[in-house]
Amino acid sequence: MSDAPTIPEATLAPTRTFDRSIVEGPLEAAVWKLAWPAMLTNIIGGLQGIVDHAMVGHYVGFEGNAAIGVANQIFIVVIVFIMSLFTGMSVLVARFVGAGDSLSADRSVYQAFLTAVALALGVLAPVGYFLSPTLLEFVNATPAVQAQALPYLRIMSLFSIGMLLFFMLSGALRSAGDARTPMYLGIGMTLLNVVLNVVLISGMGPIPAFGTAGAAMGTVIASGLLGIYGLWKLWHGGWVVEFPRGMGYRPDWGIIKALFRFGLPSGIQGIAMNVGGVLMLSIIGSLAASAASQAAFAVSYGQLFSLVTWTSVGLMGAAAAVAGQNLGAGHPERADAGVHVAARFAVTGAIALGLMFFFLPRQLLGLFGMDQPQVVEIGVQLLRVLSVSGLFIATALAYTGGLQGTGDTKSPLYISIVSQIVIPLGLCYTVRAFTTLEPLHVWIAILCGHMTRYALSAWRFRQGKWRTIAVAIADAPEPA
C-alpha cells in the first residue's frame, strides 16, 4: 500500500519540461551544476555571519560573539523540526521530477508551505519567545551573555517565517534541478542583510545602535522581504515549481502524511544534533574559562568551520537531488555513482579549508576582534582540531545527502544520535568523571564524533538498501 497521495484527474495540468541532464548527462557535470550555486550561496551566507560576528565583536565585545553563538544554537533546535518538512518535500519533488510528474511536485511544495506557516506562527513564535530565558539558563550562559542573547533569540523566533520560506524555496528548486535561482535569491538576501546589519548593529544617523539585537533585526527583515517575493513568484509562475491553481487553503492530508513520513526522521535528527550542540555548550559553559571557551567555540566552530559545513551542505543537497531524481527515473546505479562523486568533491574542499585552519588560525580569529590571549589560545587549539575534523564531516554529509535524497531519512537519524550525542558527550562526561575537563578534551570529543559519523554514513549508503524505498510514483496520475 503506497503512502503517496493520489490526485483527482480533474486537477491535472500539462507536464512541465524539466532539465534532464541530471538523469541523462555526465555525472560529474550534473553534481557540480547543482552543487556550486548552493556552495557559493552558503559561503556568501557564511561570510555574512562572519561580518555579523566581526561587527558585534568590535562593537559589543566577545560577550556579543558568545551571545550570537549560543542563541543561534538554541534557535536551530527550535526551528529544525519545521524545516524537516522541507526534507520530506525535497524527497517527493526529486522523485516526481525524475518521473516527469510536475503536478505532484507542485502540490508537495504547496502543502509544505501551508504546514510550515501554521507551525511557525502557532508553535515556533510563542515557544521561542517564552522559553528563551529558560533555555539560556540551561546552557550556562553568563549574565552578560544572556543580556545580549535574549533579545536576539526572541526576535529570531517571532519573525522566522521569511527564513523558513527561503529554505523551502531553495529545497524545492534544487530538488527540481534549478540550483541557480536559489543562488540569486540567497546572494540578494545576504547582501541586503549585510547592509541592514551595518546600519542596525552600530547605528547610523537617526537610527540608534541596537548591538546584538540589530543582527537579528537585519536577518528577519532581509529574509522577510525575500519570502514575500518568493511567494509572489510561486503564485504567478515562472519557476520550475509553482503553486497549483484552484487548491484553496485546505490541507491535503495525504501529501502532508508523505511529507512527515520522509521528513520527520530528518527533523528528529536535526533536533538530536542540536540538542547535542546545546548540551555541548552547557559542558563548555561549565569549564573554568567558560565565557572565553564559548566565544572561541562560537567563532571557530560556529562561523569559520561553517565554511566547511556550508560547502558540504551544498554538496549534500546536490547528492540528494541527483540520487532522488535518478532513482525516480529508474537509474539506481547512476544514483549510487552520483553520491560518490559528491563525496570526492566534498573531501577536496575540506582539505583546502583545513590547511587554512591549521596554518592561519590567529589571523582568522583576528578578523573577529579576538585579541584576548586566553580566547586566542583556545580558538587556535580548536581550529587545528577542526582542520582534521572537516575531512570526515564533509564526506559524511555527502553520503547523508544520498541517503536522504532516496528516502532513507531514518538511518541518518540513528547515525546522528550515536555520532553527535553519544560519542562526544559520553567522552566529555567520562573525562570529567576522572579528571578536570579542559577545552582540548571537548574538541577531541567533537573530532571523534565526526569520525564516527563518516564511518557509519559511508557504510550505510554502501549497503544499498535505499534502492528499494518506494515513493509510489506508479500511483501518481498521468498528465491530462
Average pLDDT over residues 428-445: 95
* pLDDT bucket at 406, cuts 50 / 70 / 90: very high
Q: Report the Cα–Cα distance between both ends of the chain, in Å, rounded.
A: 25
Q: Are 476 and 99 in contact (CB under 8 A)?
A: yes
DSSP code per residue over 369-433:
T---HHHHHHHHHHHHHHHHHHHHHHHHHHHHHHHHHTT--HHHHHHHIIIIIIHHHHHHHHHHH
**Beta-bridge partners for 207:** 204
Helix, coil or strand: residue 7: coil
Q: Is the pLDDT of residue 84 over 90?
A: no
User: Grid coordinates standing for 471?
Assistant: 515513493
Instruction: Name the residue with higher pLDDT: 315 or 5.
Output: 315
pLDDT of residue 344: 96
Average pLDDT over residues 226-243: 92
Nearest to 16 by CA among 249, 251, 241: 241
Helix, coil or strand: residue 327: helix
Instruction: Name the residue with higher pLDDT: 30 or 79.
Output: 30
- pLDDT for 111-159, tens place per residue? 999 988 988 888 888 988 898 888 888 877 778 888 888 999 999 989 9
pTM above 0.85, yes or no: no
Q: Is the pLDDT of residue 474 over 50?
A: no
**Beta-bridge partners for 204:** 207
User: Grid coordinates standing for 61?
Assistant: 565585545
Nearest to 169 by CA among 99, 267, 239: 239
pLDDT of residue 281: 81
Strands (E), 111-196: none
* pLDDT bucket at 17, cuts 50 / 70 / 90: low
pLDDT of residue 352: 95
Which residues does 473 contact at the CB level (< 8 Å), separation at least 6?
4, 95, 96, 99, 101, 328
The interaxial angle of helices 332-359 and 27-59, nearest 10 deg, is: 30
